[in-house]
Homo-oligomer: A and B are copies of this chain.
């Protein structure tokens, strides 16, 4: 266990979790790497390799216990830690996330949103209170959120990212279509580049 874990493996973990959780809801108690492979569109070999980065969760001749494996993966991902997160920018995308997206299922507690607009400041959306961006420093230094959701206009993304890195935030979930360069800072940036995604689809359609 604890071999070097590649990016490719980490990116597959949420997918494993999702399918195992579904299987669990369907009442499936155990599954072999072969069946899971068919269901997920992977190879059995790859699944066994992936899981063995973290430990031997299966049993020869039997397969894997669905609930146990799901919970192991949840734990590996840190979904049970409930780290604090904040949101920067409460526009349409920010609000869509606040109302429709369950941060808890992804291991986070969204504790505060920030914006500049009087339309949003002081109001609560999806149960999350919005404060003025001027209060960011004080809030972060006292509450120590580990993650920030960047849903502000792209012009302000780079500056805000540095500001957050300086404050010690450890992860940025970036919805602006900008590549953030936080050289030196120990910040992990996870990008959600809508445009890149749709352009990829455009390529496939026109192929």
Which A residues are within 8 Å of any B CB, using their own CB? 10-11, 13-15, 17-19, 40-41, 76-79, 81, 83, 91-93, 95-97, 99-101, 103, 105-108, 146-147, 170-171, 173, 177, 179, 181, 188, 190, 192-206
When C-beta atoms are compared, the residue in chain B nearest to A83 turns out to be B205
In contact, B103 and A203 (Cβ under 8 angstroms): no
In contact, A40 and B206 (Cβ under 8 angstroms): no
Partner of A198, one of B106, B170, B194: B106
A166 CB to closest chain B CB, in angstroms? 17
A85 CB to closest chain B CB, in angstroms? 9
In contact, A83 and B206 (Cβ under 8 angstroms): yes
When C-beta atoms are compared, the residue in chain B nearest to A196 turns out to be B14
A206 to chain B: which residues have CB within 8 Å?
77-78, 81, 83, 107
Q: Beyond the given A10-B203, A170-B204, A190-B200, could you list 10 further A-B residue pairs with CB under 8 A, ordered by the A residue number?
A: A11-B196, A13-B200, A14-B193, A14-B199, A18-B196, A79-B202, A96-B96, A147-B201, A190-B198, A192-B192
- For this chain, the copies found in one complex come to 2
A199 CB to closest chain B CB, in angstroms? 4
Partner of A192, one of B17, B81, B194: B194
In contact, B99 and A202 (Cβ under 8 angstroms): no
Partner of A40, one of B10, B100, B179: B179
Known contacts being A83-B205, A146-B205, A206-B81, is A198 close to B76, with CB within 8 Å?
no
When C-beta atoms are compared, the residue in chain B nearest to A103 turns out to be B198
Q: How far is the CA of A174 from the CA of B151 in the complex (A)?
A: 20
A86 CB to closest chain B CB, in angstroms? 13
When C-beta atoms are compared, the residue in chain B nearest to A169 turns out to be B205
In contact, B171 and A204 (Cβ under 8 angstroms): yes
